[in-house]
Amino acid sequence: MISFEIPPFIQNQLQMIRMVAEQAMRPYSRELDENEHERPQAFVQMTWPFTQQMVKSSLKPLMAQANGNGSNGSNGSAKPKREGPDFNMLSFIMMIEQLSWGDAGQYLCLPHPMLGGAAVDSAGTPEQRVRFLKKFTEGDPKWGAMAITEPGAGSDNSAMRTTAVLDSDTNEWVLNGEKVFITNGALALKESDGLCVVWATVDPSAGRAGIKSFVVEGNTPGVTIAKQEHKLGIRASDTVALHFDNARIPYENMLGEHSPQPTESRKGFQGAMKTFDASRPAVAASAIGIARAALEFTKDKLAEEDIVIDYTKSLHELTAVERDVIEMEARYKGAWLLTLRATAHMAHGESNRLEASMCKYRAGDAVTWITQKSVELLGPKGYTREWLVEKWMRDAKINDIYEGTKQINQLIVARSILGYSRRELK
Amino acid sequence: MLDFRPDEEQKMLTETISRYTRERVRKVYRDAEEDGEIPAALVRAGWEIGLLPTALPEEYGGFGDYSAVTGALALEEFAWGDLAVTLYVMTPNLVAIPVLLCGTEEQKASYLPRFCDEAPPRVTAALTEPAVQFSPYKLKTTAVRDGDEYVLNGSKTFVPLADNAEMILVYANEDGITQAFIVPTDAEGVVVGDRNKLMGIRSLPANLVTLNNVHVPASSKVGGETGIDFSLILNHSRVALGAAAVGMARAGFEYARDYAKERVQFGEPIAHRQSIAFMLADMATEVDEARLLVWETAWMLDQGQDVTREATIMKQQVDRMVMQVADRAVQILGGYGYIREYPVELWLRNARGFATFDGLAMI
Ligand SMILES: Cc1cc2nc3c(=O)[nH]c(=O)nc-3n(C[C@H](O)[C@H](O)[C@H](O)COP(=O)(O)OP(=O)(O)OC[C@H]3O[C@@H](n4cnc5c(N)ncnc54)[C@H](O)[C@@H]3O)c2cc1C
């Protein structure tokens, strides 16, 4: 039944998260923006206990399953049966929105499996999910990352060159190659005992079928940080280039079921695509958080100038600024509803690939436009670094780019609605 | 919990409407538009689906299950067939819903059962006024209390089916507040004027109506002494029109999509080109987004919340969306899009109307 109700316990959680955003994020926003590559200590301290709880609760059904039915541990790819909707997904999406309202760059530094976790969840077996994610429930803060992009493989990530070769003597995978623009790469691999899911090919001649995902854990020898990027926005976020130089990882760290002939199925690459079904709504939610921050701030500042919107005015009576604000509100709300739809479909166990791409590109588009409008509407003051709107405008733009650019997501939507293959619509 | 899936009953309802639009409306709507007339049998069949009686409570002869969300689903499906036919079939709603929402117990008891009859009562409503700067909250038509009567003066336009109506719900300005009055068309001073010559929805007869010192008993003011909550009525209308716009936009999107897959230029279907395919992706996404905005506003109405702000935001966005989608549909068909043998030009003409159709549909 159609409903827009957010369960009360999630609403309560959000109040707590809003406190985190107000106390541990906003006060440091400017400082972290001006001092790139500094880490958001306050935010990490405050959120680590909370994310540990979250990961614990998401692993609980898996652990119960492993205990109840031990033989099913390693080869059971069957998902644990779920009764009713999956609230974790919705609560995570709502949390991302609220944290990004606080500061999108800091949010990306959340000590949490993040994209790496999404990849382990989508492509890993239940046993692997427990094995790799358990460390996020104990000890010091840890980070997760995912590495797909390479210098020659951006939008066309099937063109990746990083190789994984099995050394049958030691039963290890040997990784070689270069990944770029990896969010949390340094935090996950050098500054904590985290993990990075690395996509690599086991057979460069096999195209997509050869691409598999591998879990590289923190402090693995042979992995180096080749570069720390300097960015337009989200400067608090850690973005690095990674070099893999004979990095060795255990055989069991390849995600998914292990067949002797890994190239026989395209499952590996489909795992990557499945990761996006969960991660695109997450990116959209982050975009929306920034949009809401800018919108609320802009409305507050306009109110101080006695510009308050009367929603019963007709188009002729509204000023150009008022019409802009109403359009900003509409674009914000529309993109958020698309995001909630993609999330709810997933929570109810329905396919959401089309919806995920729709919300991702629409949210990126909306936040980019809304934040640019905010700077415009706030005049000379809006352009100063005294206020955060100019930063939000710079932060916002990343949402048009990562997790599939706007165009790539339009392409996915277009193929889906036209029933076209990759060959028919390039 | 958040959920975007219609339930079984809603699916059955939209399936019924969809059968009607596919098998009946789409067969004749184009000729109807050219002729300026909708076949009576088509209207009857539309009424027989029974949308309005299902929305009215049992005590007034209906089935007692009012829901704005269900109404929005139904209207989208109806308008996918044709907007003018939808507005024609739904004209009785323009009186029934405001009376249901804001009428006194007496008014409800005396009017609502008539909407559950086999044939709908011949009633309509008059909100829009013939002016460039029109605001439903600041009407120029006036209502002045005179003893136990009201005296109405002013001009109205876009009054659907006024020619054939026995009664018109007239919105008028009483001391700066929009109120509604039940006015028999045979009252002295009511003049049903010329039929409107409109850019679109040409198969829907609509007229100018003038009120010259029309006296009606005070009891004909909807809601009695306290009157109506006009925002509530307008918000219901905006949800209805929003849903209709989504339905028509979806029709435009689907037509353009299918055409683009068939039409071959430069040796390939034009849909193989990104410039066409991306327009279609945007159309699909914007239609979905608009639908969600409509649903959210409808759902909040069903929860009894004041949605004046949401309905305004939603309606302005939907109006932009439907124009853009209809315009791109014409573009995708190229020269054929400009020819009246193809439906897309009609949808473009209809789309432009939504910004001025306030009060022309109601759920
Ligand atoms: C701050 C930041 C963080 C990132 N984090 C990560 C991360 O954690 N992990 C990771 O793996 N990657 C990450 N990325 C990489 C990001 O996903 C890529 O930058 C993105 O996918 C685009 O690839 P590209 O930069 O090579 O651009 P290109 O692929 O070269 O694209 C250039 C332009 O061409 C367009 N284009 C390309 N192909 C098509 C087509 N078929 N049709 C139409 N238009 C097309 C694109 O839309 C774009 O506008 C991050 C990037 C940044 C900037």
CA B140 to CA A297: how far, in whole Å? 38
Where along chain B do its domains lie?
A: 8-116, 123-220, 230-356
How near does any CA of chain A get to the CA of B156, in Å? 18
Neighbouring C-alpha atoms within 13 Å toward the C-beta of B139: 27
Bridge partners (DSSP) listed for residue A254: A214
Average pLDDT, chain B: 97
- Say if the Cβ atoms of A326 and B316 lie within 8 Å: yes
Residue A30 burial (C-beta neighbours within 10 Å; 0-12, 13-18, 19+): middle
A314 contacts chain B (CB < 8 A): yes
Q: What is the torsional sign of CA B246, B252, B257, B258?
A: positive
Q: Count of residues for chain B?
A: 363
CA B161 to CA B172: how far, in whole Å? 19
Q: If chain B, 363 residues long, is cut into consecutive pieces of 10 residues, what is the mean pLDDT of each piece? A: 96 97 98 96 96 93 90 98 98 97 97 93 97 96 98 98 98 98 98 97 97 98 97 97 98 98 98 98 98 98 97 98 98 97 97 94 92
Q: Is A403 a catalytic residue?
A: yes
Question: What separation, in Å, do the N-terminal and C-terminal C-alpha atoms of chain B show?
Answer: 25
Whether residue A210 has pLDDT greater than 90: yes
Report which secondary-structure segment, H or E, holds A319.
none
Q: Which of residues 7-66 of A touch B (CB under 8 A)?
A: 7
Position A257 confidence tier, pLDDT thresholds 50, 70, 90: confident
A241: left (phi > 0), else alpha (psi -120 to 50), else beta?
Answer: beta
Closest CA to B246 of B283, B205, B200, B278: B283
Residue A31 burial (C-beta neighbours within 10 Å; 0-12, 13-18, 19+): exposed
What are the pLDDT digits (tens) for A360-393? 999 999 999 999 999 999 999 999 999 999 999 9
Helices (DSSP H) in chain B: which residue ranges?
8-20, 26-35, 40-48, 51-55, 68-81, 83-89, 93-102, 105-111, 230-262, 274-302, 308-333, 344-353
- Give the per-residue pLDDT at A68: 60
- Give the per-residue pLDDT at A70: 45
- Say if the Cβ atoms of A334 and B278 lie within 8 Å: no
**Superfamily of structural domain B8-116:** Acyl-CoA dehydrogenase/oxidase, N-terminal domain (1.10.540.10)
**Superfamily of structural domain B230-356:** Butyryl-CoA Dehydrogenase, subunit A, domain 3 (1.20.140.10)
Average pLDDT, chain A: 93
Angle formed at CA A405 by CA A403 and CA A410, multiple of 5 degrees: 110
Which ipTM value was assigned to this complex?
A: 0.95
Where along chain A do its domains lie?
A: 8-265, 270-418
CA B301 to CA B285: how far, in whole Å? 24
Intrachain domains A8-265 and A270-418 with the same fold: no
Third-level CATH fold of A8-265 = Butyryl-CoA Dehydrogenase, subunit A; domain 2 (2.40.110)
Which atom in ligand 1 lies closest to the alpha carbon of residue A237? 1
What are the pLDDT digits (tens) for A65-79? 766 654 444 444 445
Nearest CA to ligand 1 atom 23: A154
- Cβ contact B167:B123 at 8 Å: yes
Residue ranges around ligand 1 (CB below 6 Å) = A 115, 145-149, 154-155, 181-183, 231, 239, 398, 401-402, 405, 407-408, 411; B 274
- Cβ contact B76:B69 at 8 Å: no
- Say if the Cβ atoms of B271 and A418 lie within 8 Å: yes
Third-level CATH fold of A270-418 = Butyryl-CoA Dehydrogenase, subunit A; domain 3 (1.20.140)
Tell whether domain B123-220 is in CATH 2.40.110.10.
yes
Within 8 A by CB and 6+ apart from B147, the residues are none
Position A269 confidence tier, pLDDT thresholds 50, 70, 90: confident
DSSP one-letter string for B123-152: EEEE---SSSS--TTS-SSEEEEETTEEEE
